[in-house]
Every structure is written in structure tokens, then in C-alpha cells.
Amino acid sequence: MTISYIEVCGFRSYGVEPQRVELSAPLTVIHADNSQGKTSLAEAFEFLHTGTISRRQLAGGSPGEFEGALRNAHIGPVAEVYVEVGLLDANGTEAIIRRELNVDYRGATDCESTLTVNGVTTESVTGVGLHLSDPPLAAPVLLEHALRYAVSAKPGDRSDYFKAMLEVADLDLVRTEIASLVTEREARPRESLVQKLDSLASVPALSPMLTTSQVASEHQLANSMLTMLNTIVPPGSDDVPDEQPLVTAIDRVQRELASRQNSVVPVRQLRPSPNPQPGIRIDVVTSEEHELVRPDNVALTARLSDHNTLAGTVERSVADVLPLLTAALSVTVVVQHDGDGPIDCPLCQTPDALTAERIAAIRRQVADQEGLTQSGSSLRTAVLSLGADLKTIRDWSAQATPTAASWADEQRSAYSGTILQLGGSTEFFDIAVAAGISLKTAADDLNDAIEAAQPLLARIVDRLEQLLDVPDADITELIQRDGVIRQSLKKHASALEKSLAASDTCIEDVEPKLSALSATDGWMVLIELSSNTELVWQAIVRQRNADACTTRLKAAQRVIVSEIKKVLDRKLELMADEIRTWWSLMRPNELTVFDRISRRGSGNRYLDLTASLVPEPAGNGVIRNALAVLSNSQVNALGLAAFLARCQLLDCPVIFLDDPVPGSDREHRYTFAGAVVAKLLEHGRQVIVATHDAELARTLQTLHQHLGINEFSANLLDPRVGTRIVRTGDDFERLMLDASSQMSSPLTENRRAAGNSLRIATERLAKHILVAARVAAGEPDASLADYDNKNLRDLRPMVTGHAKAPNEPGQWTTLARILNDSDHDTSPPQPADLKICYDMLRDIKRRHKVSTPAAAQ
């Protein structure tokens, strides 16, 4: 799988006109001076892979400093910004991979882009065969600012880098997850009942008798509880054994506990009764609660209204005697009458008063009025039930009121003093007493509201018994009384909640001190556990299972961590071997050599790179941390070796290197160009090298010219136009490249060669300008061949006639004067003069905008 081309548009230094780099050979060399766009090209390739640039993470600034960094600042807001490559598979089928920038970096917000393969949106380049590692160096692109990252990054980042390379990050995840699970299980609170059982071990009188680990069954637990209860409060000599000895013992200890603690301070009298509030089964009026709880029941007031309507339809004379008529019809003689002759009235004994016709008429009247009787009876039962419920609530509120609410001032003062002596909080005590008094007040108000409603309920019952209507005034009063009662209930519930909370706070504060003073330490816990032996045993079983699970998990953790370290060591050795391979190619026969990657400490988090200091080649060395003993150039070389090792292990098909040999390390350009690049090509890698070093570019061309390498140069002449990329098969550019690599040399011959290259380049440029001028003037057949055998002396007078700047004739004269010296036996031009000529040629070419392709030569 190979890249056939890279095309960049609008990205970083590149303008709106797409720039394409054809990659027809396994090696591509792109030469450019600094700040001309070669690094932008490398970052474009990185952006294609990852949708971001690593500079933002590695440059050391804040993310906000990279706002608007991807789009060329000189192009319009609607201009396209994209990077595109052609990817050829083994069959020669080309896939077009393109990433378009949608939104640039904004403050700390990441950029947004769309990745497509043959026009179809996709999520990652890995799906088409390109390789990605973990950030920040995810793409197979090594930029100059990232050259040292693998060596000089923070220990944690360095460790993550190598673990991602070795694809062992998942092992760290497994180790971390297991450690987290163990920590989480160990941090879980033990079962509360088990904690309380364990707490009895701190009570001297009880500790010899029970520990959680000794309990083998619920029966044994109950026996142990009974033993402890009988130990702290032995049964009396006259006590008779019964069928429930544990219950008896609990009751005996409770009584003794209350007696002892109350003799000091009756702190439990602060607590209200915990019994739940009784309910009211009859709803006086319809409410939201009524609709939710009893949606099928009709409110009492609505039923009373219906009863009044029914009572209004009844003849009063009939209604008054309706009970008597009903009673008469139920007499046996009337029930059994067969219609043969009249019978005596069973009520008034009037002879022959009831004929068959009269009995039938009475039965019709009773049937007509029976609904009123049923209504009255049903409502009477409901009102009586309401009254009974209210009395139950009244009695409950009185019982719920804590005894402390009725303490006299002298009692409260004495108890407060005792609590102070115990070291308890008198503030908690005072709050609890005040809450109890407030609860008593609420209970009294509730009692008053209930008592005030009783006469009204009695009146309503009386009216219903007489089958009379209930006056509207009574119904209105009933609604009002119900509202007062329910409001009083709400206040009572609030007061009860506050009293419970305040009393519990005070009891929790005082009881430990009170237990010690009354010699009842641990008794409350023992009573609670003894009263719930089944629940305690279940809690013990759950806790034992949880502890056993944690123990097994920790044992598994130790085994897994040990195996993870073994796997990591093997992987690290493999990685170290690969790094040593590349190091030895770049730095052969050095006395400071890369040694290995080793785990630091426990090896769970950090890795160290070490170097060996040897007194002579192939000798035994002293091991030191690489970062501490390697020179600056060696650190750069180790960073490059680590990157190449990563690419080799990940089997990356394409590698992009941006200035891999810094300018300060020129003496190693030949080992890089010869040994390193040759090794990469030997392994089937497609290599792209961008460099500012003309000598390195020339060396790469010389050593690998048999491969027909791709050679390009990048120039940024006008920021509004953007970086332009041209093939250096262009003879003019080739000559300029040759000159730039030698014109600063202190050696005479090198400067003479640079002068010759610049002189020939000047002649080439002059010929192209003359041909371009003739074509523009209407001579389409004009060609460079027309100027064969014309040298700079001949060309200068002709080309100055086409000058496009006032100083251009002078520039041609200067070029001729300086560069002619380089072709004679006189001393060659000085570096500064050669630099002036080089810049003049660049200036003239930019001004005339002529193309100088090699084919045209």
C-alpha cells in the first residue's frame, strides 16, 4: 500500500490554489528554506490522519493560543481547506482520502473536520490501511518540534508513549480496573449489624464471649447472645425457666438498663414514641391525596349533600313513622298473612285493621322510602367511624409526646448539669427539650381541634338517626373543622420529625458517656442484636462472602500484575532491540550508546531509557539514565530511533520526516541518508523527507538516485498566494539547490562550485525571460534553443531590456560581475557575495513569474 500523491489547499501556509506532490517513487525529498512551508506540509499529512496537529499539545502553550491556526490567514472565510491523498492498494486500485476543515480551533475548543474515502464519510483512516498510534504522536509523522518527545517527555507521558507503541496500554487498563475494584471493595462499609457485633469486642465484660469469626450458625449466635445477656444481668434465683429465654433475658436487661441510665439522667425520655400515626378512613372533602389513595370513595360532605336531596323528597308524615312501618312488616303474622281476611295491627292492636290491600300499600310506601333509611344508616356509620379515628389520633398524639416535655424547670436544670458533667453537649440537650415541648404544644392543639369537632359529629349522627336532613350550616362547619384538624396534624407531624431528630442527636451524644457512667457500656447494642438474631446472622453470612470475594480478588490481582510485568518486560526488550538497531545505524561506534527501556520502581507507571557509557567500542559500560548523559544531538538521534522503531513495530506503510537531522548535527547526515533511509526502503516503507538542509537533500538524491526519487522544493514568495511546490527536476531550482548547499563553505573549491551553479542558473533564468517575452510579443515558436552557446556576457544586454524594476539592470550587472569570477582562476566569491546573488535570482524570478521546467531546457 503506497501513497500516490499529497494535495494541500488552504492549510497553514498553503493558499487557495491546490498544491500537489506526486509520490511516484519510494523516496520523496522536499527541500525548502525555513519558514517556506515544508513543516506545514508535514502537519497537513498529520491532520489528514488525526484531524488535529500535535504542535498544539507539545508546543508548551495553552490551547487558546492556537485559535485559527489551521486555516491560512490570507484566504477568504469560505475558501476550501483540505488535505487529500491517493492511496494505492496491492492491485493498483486508488482510494481518494480527503479531510476537510469545517471549523478551526477556537479558544480551548478543538477543530472540526470531515474525513471521506472516495466521497463517503468515515471516522478513521485506519479503516483504509493507514496506521495510527495513541496521541499526541498518533500519525506516522515526525515533526522537528517532536523529535525529542519520546526521550524528554514527562515520565508519565513517556511511559504512555511507549506502552501505546507496544500495544500494552490495555494491560495497564486491566491492572487499573482490578486495583480500582479491590480499592472499592475494601472501602465498602462493613455490614452495619456486623460492625455493631464487632464493637462488642471492645467491652471488657463481653469480649471473651463472642467474635464474628467464631459464629458458625444462627443457633450458636442466639446462644452466645443469651450467655452475654445473662452475664451482664443474671436471672434471679426465683426466676422460672420459660420457653423463650432469650426474650426474657432481653426484657430483663432492658429494664435494668433503663433503671441504671435513668438514675443518672433519663435521656431517652427526650424521644417521642416511634409508633406510626394512625390513619383517617373517612375523607370529609375531596383532595389530591383523596384522589390518589381512595379514588373510588365519595367524600363525606358530598354524600351528606346527596342525603339531604333524598330526604327532601320524602313525605314527612311517612318519614316520621317509617321505622314503625318497617317494624310492622317484619312481624311474623304480617309476613305469613295469605290475604284471607283482615288481621289485627301488630303495633296498636286495632282489630281487623290490616287488610291484604292495606298491607300491600304499606309495603309500597316502605319500599319507596327505603333509600333514605339506607343512606342515613350508611352515613351514620361513616360519621361514627370518623369520630373514632379522630379520637385514636388524639390518643396517639398524647402517647407520642416525650416525657421530657412535662419535666419541671428544676428537673431540666438538674439534668442539664449532669450532662455537662458527663462531657455532653448541653446545647443538644436544650434543643431536644425545646423540640419536645413544641411537640406537646402541637399535640395539645390537635387535641383541642378534635374535641371541638365532637359535638358537631354528635349532632350529625342524631339527625341521621332520625332520617332528617343535615343543615347546610353543619356541613360548612364540618368542612371548617376538618381543615383545622388536618392543619394541626401537619404541624404535629413537623414537630414530631424535629423532636425525633433533636432527641436522637442528644442521645447519640450523651449515651456513650452515660453507658460508661452507668456501667451499661454496649448494652443497647447487645439488646438490638439479640432482638434480631436472624438479621444479624444474615449480615454475618453476607459479610463473610464479601470478604472471601475480596481475598480471592486480591490474590488474582497479584498474579495478574506479575504476569503483566512479564509481558511488559518482553515487549520492552523487543522495543529496545528495535531502537538499538536504528541507533547503531545513525550513531555507529560511539562511546555512549543506547542501552534499554526499563520499568522504574514497581514498574506499574513509569519507564526509564538508559544509556551505557563505555570506555572503548564494544567494551563494558556504566549504565546511566539516557536523558542525563546523552548530548543534545544524541537525544535527538534517540528520539528519531524511537520513532522509527515505533513505525517499524506498527508496520506503517508511509513515514513522513520533517528535518530529521537538525542543523547542529550535520556530521551525521550521511549515516541518516545512507544507512537509515536505506534500511527503511529495504523494509518496504514509503519515505517522505522534508529538510531545510540543502546538503542533506543533495546527499539523499545522490545515494538513492537509482530509485528515481521524487524531488521537490517549497517556496513562499507571497503569503497571499501561499506556499508553492515545484519539482526540482527544474534545472534552475536544481542549480539553486546545489549552490545553497555550498555557498557558505569556508573551502575555496566549494564556493567556486556554488558560484558556477549560480552563474549557470543566471543564464537559464535569462533565457527563460527572453523566451517568455518573445512569446508574449507574438512569437509562439520562440525556444531556449535560440540561445544555445550564449553565455551571461551575451545574455545580459538582451535581458535588461525586459527589466520590470528600476534596479533590475543593476542586478544583472552585479550578477555578471560577481559570478564571472567563479569561472576563472581568480579567487571565488565570498559567502556574503554568493548569498546576495542567490537572493537576487530569487527576486528576479519572483518578479517575472516565469516557469523554468527541465523539459524546456
Identify the pLDDT of residue 47: 96
What type of residue sits at position 825? D
Nearest Cα to Cα of residue 390 among 273, 271, 300: 300
36, 715 Cβ separation under 8 angstroms: yes
Exposure string for 288-307, b = 16+ CB within 10 A, e = fewer: eeeeeeeeebebbbebbeeb
Average pLDDT, whole number, for the chain?
85
DSSP state of 273: P
What kind and span of H or E run contains 612? strand 607-613
Beta pairing, strands 2-9 & 19-22: antiparallel
Cα of 374 vs its chain's centroid, Å: 68
Q: How far apart are the first and last CA of the chain?
A: 35
Identify the pLDDT of residue 853: 64
253, 356 Cβ separation under 8 angstroms: no
What type of residue sits at position 241? P
Identify the pLDDT of residue 698: 85
> Of 107 and 737, which is predicted with more confidence?
107
**Which of the four pLDDT bands, split at 50, 70 and 90, describes residue 204?**
confident
**How far apart, in whole angstroms, are the C-alpha atoms of residue 418 and residue 265?**
7
**How far apart, in whole angstroms, are the C-alpha atoms of residue 63 and residue 84?**
26
Phi-psi sector, 339: left (phi>0), alpha (psi -120 to 50), beta: left
Give per-residue pLDDT as tens, 755-774. 988 998 999 899 999 999 99
Q: What is the mean pLDDT of residues 839-844?
A: 92
- Among the residue ranges 292-296, 484-488, 560-564, 835-839, the one predicted with the least confidence is 292-296
Beta pairing, strands 82-88 & 654-658: unpaired
Identify the pLDDT of residue 855: 43
Q: What is the mean pLDDT of residues 25-33?
A: 91
Q: Is the pLDDT of residue 444 over 80?
A: yes
Give per-residue pLDDT as tens, 544-587. 999 999 999 999 988 988 888 888 888 888 888 998 899 889 88
Identify the pLDDT of residue 368: 59
Nearest Cα to Cα of residue 640 among 150, 269, 178, 229: 150
77, 13 Cβ separation under 8 angstroms: no
**Which of the four pLDDT bands, split at 50, 70 and 90, describes residue 110?**
very high
**How far apart, in whole angstroms, are the C-alpha atoms of residue 614 and residue 672?**
23
Identify the pLDDT of residue 264: 83
**How far apart, in whole angstroms, are the C-alpha atoms of residue 27 and residue 680?**
10
Identify the pLDDT of residue 484: 93
DSSP line for 747-792: SHHHHHHHHHHHHHHHHHHHHHHHHHHHHHTT-TT--GGGGTT--H
Beta pairing, strands 607-613 & 592-599: antiparallel
Identify the pLDDT of residue 857: 37
In Å, what is the CA distance from 629 to each residue of 573, 622, 626?
21, 11, 6
> Of 834 and 518, which is predicted with more confidence?
834
**How far apart, in whole angstroms, are the C-alpha atoms of residue 370 and residue 372?**
5
Q: Is the pLDDT of residue 210 over 80?
A: no
Burial class for 575, CB neighbours closer than 10 Å (0-12, 13-18, 19+): buried
Give per-residue pLDDT as tens, 357-413. 777 777 766 665 667 778 888 888 989 998 999 999 999 999 999 999 999 999 999
Listed in sequence order, the DSSP H helices in 140-237 are: 149-152, 155-165, 169-187, 192-199, 218-232
Identify the pLDDT of residue 856: 42
Identify the pLDDT of residue 40: 95
The three-state secondary structure class of 98 is strand
Q: Is the pLDDT of residue 316 over 60?
A: no
- Among the residue ranges 657-661, 784-788, 792-796, the one predicted with the least confidence is 784-788
Identify the pLDDT of residue 708: 74
In Å, what is the CA distance from 642 to each residue of 150, 277, 287, 610?
7, 76, 77, 13
Nearest Cα to Cα of residue 130 among 2, 40, 11: 2
pTM above 0.75, yes or no: no
Give per-residue pLDDT as tens, 136-161. 888 999 988 787 777 777 777 777 77
**How far apart, in whole angstroms, are the C-alpha atoms of residue 172 and residue 160?**
10
**How far apart, in whole angstroms, are the C-alpha atoms of residue 272 and residue 455?**
30
Q: What is the mean pLDDT of residues 815-843?
A: 84
Share of the chain above pLDDT 70, in %: 91
What kind and span of H or E run contains 507? helix 472-517
How many other C-beta atoms lie within 10 A of the C-beta of residue 213?
A: 9
- Among the residue ranges 399-408, 615-624, 670-679, the one predicted with the least confidence is 615-624
Q: Is the pLDDT of residue 214 over 80?
A: no
Q: What is the mean pLDDT of residues 179-186?
A: 89
Kindly compute the dihedral angle of the four CA atoms of residues 354, 358, 362, 368, in this order, to the nearest 10 degrees: 170
> Of 686 and 129, which is predicted with more confidence?
686
Taking every pair of Cα atoms in the chain, the longest distance, rounded to a whole number of angstroms, is 173
In Å, what is the CA distance from 317 to each residue of 44, 307, 327, 361, 380?
108, 18, 16, 15, 22
The three-state secondary structure class of 94 is strand
Q: Is the pLDDT of residue 262 over 70?
A: yes
Share of the chain above pLDDT 90, in %: 33
